Amino acid sequence: MTPNAISEKLKRHKPKILGSEDYSKYAVLLPLIETADGVAVMFEVRSMKLRRQPGEICFPGGRVDPGDKDEKEAAIRETVEELGVMPESIKGVQPLDYLISPFGMIIYPFAGFIQDAGQIRPSEAEVGEVFTVPLDFFMAAEPDVYHVHFKPEPAENFPFDWVPGGKNYNWRARQMEEYFYHYEGRIIWGLTARILAHFVAIIKEDGLDKA
């Protein structure tokens, strides 16, 4: 292959996260509603009928399907399915930073407003209940942060003789932060709390929360 051919190949390549094709893609929406007391954040409690994470608090969302135009459309579609709202009632949807999970997922979070909250009719198959928390609570509260440690464990057939140091190789361990918010007996934690903390940080940035 000639240098020109290599250069042309590289020009046409669009960079992405290396290996991202092997990750599952999910999109979620942080739903905001306007109340008489100001803006509130809406949460779902996952149905106890679900096999995965029953009873946990989360935002509406799910896997990005091949038929979705993009991650934003996936987040809106999942919100429509789970909360029973009309797509046109979801306004001002904007992207937050996406997350790469150590469990093989890329999560694309968005935030947006749901108008006419009285129309919400949660899916009984997926949602046990919904509740709201005033945004002011999260603006004032700091989450509790704990750490989960990950220790590499090579498989039994790992070729240690190919690696400098062999079985004594100094593997790099890592840790993951887990966020927790406590509100009136409810515990909001995990990726939901992490996305929420990131959203609050954006709102507070440069004093925008005073606007």
Look at residue 20 in the predicted model and tell me its pLDDT. Answer: 86
Residue 4 has pLDDT above 90, yes or no: yes
pLDDT tens-digit readout, 173-209: 888 899 999 999 999 999 999 999 999 999 998 665 5
Residue recorded with tokens 């942060």: 145
127 in Cβ contact with 45 (< 8 Å): yes
Look at residue 206 in the predicted model and tell me its pLDDT. Answer: 67
DSSP 92-120: EEEE---EEETTTEEEEEEEEEES-GGG-
Residue 104 has pLDDT above 90, yes or no: no
Look at residue 119 in the predicted model and tell me its pLDDT. Answer: 86
CATH class in words for 23-206: alpha beta
Q: Which helix (H) or strand (E) holds 30?
A: strand 24-35
pLDDT band at 18 (very low <50, low <70, confident <90, very high): confident
